[in-house]
Amino acid sequence: MYEVRVEADFAAAHFLTHYHGKCERLHGHNYRVRLWARGSQLDAGGMLIDFGVLKGLLREVCGRLDHQNLNDYPVFSGDPSAERIAKYIFDELENLLIAQGHDPKLLYAVEVYETPTSMARFVQD
């Protein structure tokens, strides 16, 4: 099994409506996002998928979130937790892979770091 990973980042604000503590107030993070692709077959050029393709798609999705208040996105239901952000990014990447004719099954996981030591990961079943 082969795995490849690319990274991107974005800065955004949010608050958690169902949390009691400092995170219930509006605050921001410099998010780091890691995208993992996985598969057993390489293409004719010996690659699972071109790093450039993955980086471009990840940057596109992160760019949509950059310098936004994530609570403005209904998909997060008022609580844009790192877990929900990871799932959102995964779903958006899956749609972009399909639209560009790439195998969406290569998409394996998305990790969202709120800080260097706090991360949530969404993994495809």
Annotated catalytic residue, options 60, 67, 94, 111: 67
Q: Is 29 a catalytic residue?
A: no
Alpha-carbon span 64 to 8, nearest angstrom: 12
Q: Is 114 a catalytic residue?
A: yes
Distances, alpha carbon 14 to alpha carbons 9, 60, 80, in Å: 16, 20, 7
Burial 48-62 (b: 16+ CB within 10 A, else e): bbeeebbeebbbebb
Residues of the chain by 3-state class (helix, strand, coil), percent to 5: 35, 35, 30
Q: Is 23 a catalytic residue?
A: yes
Active-site residues, by number, are 23, 67, 114
